[in-house]
Chain A
C-alpha cells in the first residue's frame, strides 16, 4: 500500500470507507445471481415468478430434481461432461508441457517463427471454424463421438504458452545440461527432471483446461446430436426450448453444473488467478 495511504489521515479514512462500500455493492451484484440460482433450484416455477420472488431456500429441490432426471438423461450428461473434461485435460498436460519445454529450453531452427504460429492461433476467432470443423467431423464419421471434441483440444496454444513461461522462469538450463552429461536421453530429461519440477504449473493448467472443457457449448451442441451423447450445458439448454419451461428444474440442473467449479475455485482461487495473469503482465 502506498505511503500516502496511512490509516491515520482523515481523507484516507473516508476514501477507505467509500472504497469498502463500493466493493461491497459490487460484490453483492456479482454474487446475487449465484445466490438466486441456488434459491430458485429449491422452488417451483409458480413460486419463482410469484410476488415476491423467493429470497430464501424452499423445499422443492427434490421435486425439481425428479423433473430433471425424468426429462433429460441428467447423470448421463453429467458423466459426459466429466469424461470430456478429463479426456481433454490429461493429454493436454502432457502435450503442452512437452511443447512448452521444447520452446523454452532448446535452440532450434525456426523456433521463434514456430512459436509465433502457436500464438497466432489464439487470435483466430474460434467460432468461425465451427462450420468447417463440423464438416470435417461429419466427413470422418465422428459425429456423436466424444473424441471429435477432445482430440483436437489436446495441445492448446494457451497451455503451451503457460508451460513455456513457467519453465523459462523456474528451470535453470544448467540442470538440463547436467542431466544430459549424466546420459539422460532427451525424453528422459523431460520426464524425470522437468515434469516433477513443473507440478504447480501443471496443476494450474489442469484446472484451466478442465474449466474450459466443462463449460464448452457451441461445438458440443453441433457435434453431439443425440440426447445420450450431449453434455450438461447442451442438454440443459434443450429444457428451455419446450413450452411450460420448468425453470425450477433448470436452475437445479444449472446449480449442479456450476457447483463443482465453485468448489474447485474455492480451493485454488489464488493459484488459478495467478496462473491466468502470469503471462499477461509480462507481454
Chain B
C-alpha cells in the first residue's frame, strides 16, 4: 500500500520506493547466493585444491599442512603405473559394454511400450524404472548372491537357456565363475545394464511421447509399415534425446565406482585387477594406501579423459543434433 498511499508525506514515499527498488534489485542475488556460497566452499575450492595436492606428496600421518612439493612426480608415476592403465582399460571396457546395451535395449523397449500399451504404460515403465531408485550398494550385494558359481540363480538360468536351440550355441556348458579376473567385468556390466536400462527407457519414452501423432498417421497413409515408421520417424526424432542420454551415460560410466567396489569386496577380491575401475583405483590409492597426491593426479587424468570424451560426443553427436533441430 505504501506506493499508492497519496496522503503520506512525499519524503516517506520516496524512501519507501527506494527501499522497494533496492530490495527488488538485490533480492535475486540473495536468493541464488546459497548455491554459490556452497559451490565455492565445497565445489570449486576442493577442485582447485586437488590440483594443488596433485603436485604434492602427503599422507595423513604427515600431519596437516606438511605438504611436500614433488613437481610432476605424481603424474609420471600414475602415467607409468600398469595398475592405473589396467583400471583405465577396465573403465573404458565397462563404459562400452555397460553403456551401449542400455541404449540398444532402451530405445526399442520404449517404442514397444509406447506402441502396445495403453492403460498400463505407467505401471510397466515404473517396473522397469525401479532399479534406478535402488541403492547401488544394495543392488551389488543382491547380485553378489545371484552370481554364486554353484547353484547361483544366474548360472542356473544360463544353464536352462543353454538347452534351448540356437541360444545354447552361444552359452558356456559349465557354471561360470563370475569372480575371476577374466569374467568379473561381464558381471559388473550386467549389473550396470540392469540398473540403468529402465532410466534410459523412461527418457526415450518421454521423448517418443512428444513426437506428434500425425507424423505416424501420414506415414501410414503413405504405406510405411511399423518398422519403417520406427526407422524413419522415431529414430531421427529421438536424436536430441539420444545425445542427452548418451552424455549422461558417459559421465556416469566413466566414474563407475559403487558396483565394482561392492562386487570386488572393497578391493580384497581375487578378481580386483580384472574389474576395478579408475575411480575405484583412485579411491583405494587415497584411502587404502593413503597416498593423496597420487590419488589426486589420477583424478585429474580421469577428469581430462572424461572431458575429451564429452567433447568428442559433442562434436560427433551434438552437431548432427543441432543441425536437425
Residues of A within 8 A of B (CB): 1-5, 15-16, 19-20, 22-23, 26-27, 29-34, 36-37, 40, 48-53, 95, 98-99, 101-103, 106, 108, 111, 114, 117-118, 121, 123-136, 138-139, 151-152, 154-155, 157, 160, 180-183, 185-187, 190, 211, 214-215, 217-218, 222, 233-234, 236-237, 240-241, 247, 250-251, 254, 257-258, 261-262, 265, 269-270, 272-273, 276-277, 280-281, 283
Among listed B76-84, B110-118, B166-174, interface-contacting one: B110-118
B126 to chain A, nearest CB (A): 4
Is B124 an interface residue, CB under 8 A from the partner? yes
User: What is the bound-complex CA distance between A40 and B206, given in angstroms?
Assistant: 35
A33 to chain B, nearest CB (A): 5
A240 surroundings in chain B (CB, below 8 A): 141, 144, 262, 265-266
A106 & B115 in contact (Cβ 8 Å cutoff): no
Closest to A238 in B: B266
Select B134's contact among A98, A218, A261, beta carbons within 8 Å: A261
User: What is the bound-complex CA distance between A127 and B296, given in angstroms?
Assistant: 11
B3 & A183 in contact (Cβ 8 Å cutoff): yes
A15 surroundings in chain B (CB, below 8 A): 115-116, 226
B258 & A217 in contact (Cβ 8 Å cutoff): yes
Taking CB atoms and an 8 Å cut-off, the chain B residues in 222-246 that contact chain A are 226, 229, 241, 244
User: What is the bound-complex CA distance between A124 and B44, given in angstroms?
Assistant: 11
B24 & A180 in contact (Cβ 8 Å cutoff): yes
A1 & B206 in contact (Cβ 8 Å cutoff): no
Q: A27-B124, A30-B127, A34-B130 are in contact. Are A130 and B286 (CB under 8 A)?
A: yes
B24 surroundings in chain A (CB, below 8 A): 180, 186
Q: A125-B255, A273-B125 are in contact. Are A16 and B206 (CB under 8 A)?
A: no
Is B93 an interface residue, CB under 8 A from the partner? no
B118 surroundings in chain A (CB, below 8 A): 1
Select B150's contact among A31, A49, A117, beta carbons within 8 Å: A49
A132 & B265 in contact (Cβ 8 Å cutoff): no
User: What is the bound-complex CA distance between A83 and B209, given in angstroms?
Assistant: 38
User: What is the bound-complex CA distance between A29 and B193, given in angstroms?
Assistant: 12
Select A138's contact among B64, B112, B113, B266, beta carbons within 8 Å: B64
Hey, what's the 0/1 contact readout for B279-302 against A, CB within 8 Å counting as 1? 100110011000010011001101
User: What is the bound-complex CA distance between A182 and B3, given in angstroms?
Assistant: 9
A233 & B202 in contact (Cβ 8 Å cutoff): no
B296 & A265 in contact (Cβ 8 Å cutoff): no
Closest 5 CB pairs of A and B: A132-B46, A186-B27, A19-B116, A152-B42, A102-B31
A2 & B292 in contact (Cβ 8 Å cutoff): no
User: What is the bound-complex CA distance between A236 and B137, given in angstroms?
Assistant: 9
B112 & A19 in contact (Cβ 8 Å cutoff): yes
A50 surroundings in chain B (CB, below 8 A): 151
22 contacts between A and B (CB under 8 A): A1-B118, A2-B216, A2-B229, A5-B115, A15-B116, A30-B130, A33-B146, A34-B142, A117-B36, A127-B279, A133-B46, A135-B53, A138-B60, A155-B35, A215-B137, A222-B287, A237-B137, A237-B266, A241-B268, A251-B145, A254-B141, A269-B126
Select A132's contact among B47, B146, B241, B279, beta carbons within 8 Å: B47
A2 & B213 in contact (Cβ 8 Å cutoff): yes
B130 & A281 in contact (Cβ 8 Å cutoff): no
A114 to chain B, nearest CB (A): 6
Closest to A154 in B: B38
A126 surroundings in chain B (CB, below 8 A): 255
A2 & B116 in contact (Cβ 8 Å cutoff): no
Q: A19-B116, A186-B27 are in contact. Are A36 and B153 (CB under 8 A)?
A: yes
User: What is the bound-complex CA distance between A265 and B268, given in angstroms?
Assistant: 35
B69 surroundings in chain A (CB, below 8 A): none
B128 & A52 in contact (Cβ 8 Å cutoff): no
User: What is the bound-complex CA distance between A108 and B133, given in angstroms?
Assistant: 37
A136 surroundings in chain B (CB, below 8 A): 41-42, 45-46, 49
User: What is the bound-complex CA distance between A21 and B13, given in angstroms?
Assistant: 73
B226 & A102 in contact (Cβ 8 Å cutoff): no
**B contact residues, total (Cβ < 8 Å):** 103
A128 to chain B, nearest CB (A): 4
A29 surroundings in chain B (CB, below 8 A): 194
A237 & B262 in contact (Cβ 8 Å cutoff): yes
A58 to chain B, nearest CB (A): 14
User: What is the bound-complex CA distance between A24 and B257, given in angstroms?
Assistant: 31
A32 surroundings in chain B (CB, below 8 A): 153
Is B207 an interface residue, CB under 8 A from the partner? yes
Taking CB atoms and an 8 Å cut-off, the chain B residues in 1-50 that contact chain A are 1-4, 20, 23-25, 27-29, 31-32, 34-36, 38-39, 41-43, 45-47, 49-50
Q: A2-B213, A241-B268 are in contact. Are A99 and B49 (CB under 8 A)?
A: no
B276 to chain A, nearest CB (A): 13
B244 surroundings in chain A (CB, below 8 A): 280, 283
B49 & A135 in contact (Cβ 8 Å cutoff): yes
B135 & A217 in contact (Cβ 8 Å cutoff): yes
B270 to chain A, nearest CB (A): 14
A283 to chain B, nearest CB (A): 7
A196 to chain B, nearest CB (A): 17
A131 & B115 in contact (Cβ 8 Å cutoff): no
Hey, what's the 0/1 contact readout for B194-206 against A, CB within 8 Å counting as 1? 1000100011001
Select A125's contact among B39, B116, B117, B306, beta carbons within 8 Å: B306
B296 & A23 in contact (Cβ 8 Å cutoff): no
A155 & B296 in contact (Cβ 8 Å cutoff): no
A102 & B303 in contact (Cβ 8 Å cutoff): no
Closest to A129 in B: B46
B1 & A270 in contact (Cβ 8 Å cutoff): no
